[in-house]
Amino acid sequence: MTATPADTTYSTPGGAVFAAAFADGAHVRDVDPSNPALEASVASDAEGRVHVLTVRNATDQEQELFPGALLPDGDDPLLFLGGASATSERDGRLVAHLAPHGHVHLGRITAAAR
């Protein structure tokens, strides 16, 4: 994940732009969250520009993951779309902390789909 310069601001696009990741022609694939306690998938629109990561904690314990590596690379930030997680930063990377049986949806736009 690329660090955002301090003088750069982003507005969160409306949820409608992320709906394309679930429309006809979209692709959903399972991804390896590098933690066997988590289940993860990425939904991408037909053009491969809009991506939504869904991660679910299947255990009774808090779990963590580095979600940036699970989405296609891009300069745009990861956007919180729903669910619940606490976040922190470690070694310049975003860390998501999922509560027991919790889930989170994160999005990224990798091209001019705004």
Q: Domain-by-domain residue ranges, the chain?
A: 16-109
Residue 14's pLDDT is 59
**Residue 67 and residue 33: Cα distance in Å, rounded?**
8
Coil, strand or helix at 18: helix
Residue 8's pLDDT is 45
**Consecutive 10-residue averages of pLDDT for the chain (114 residues):** 43 71 93 93 94 94 90 80 83 88 90 55
> What is the pTM for the complete model shown?
0.79
Q: Which listed CATH number (3.20.20.70, 2.60.40.1180, 2.60.120.10, 1.10.3720.10) goes with 16-109? A: 2.60.40.1180
Coil, strand or helix at 16: helix
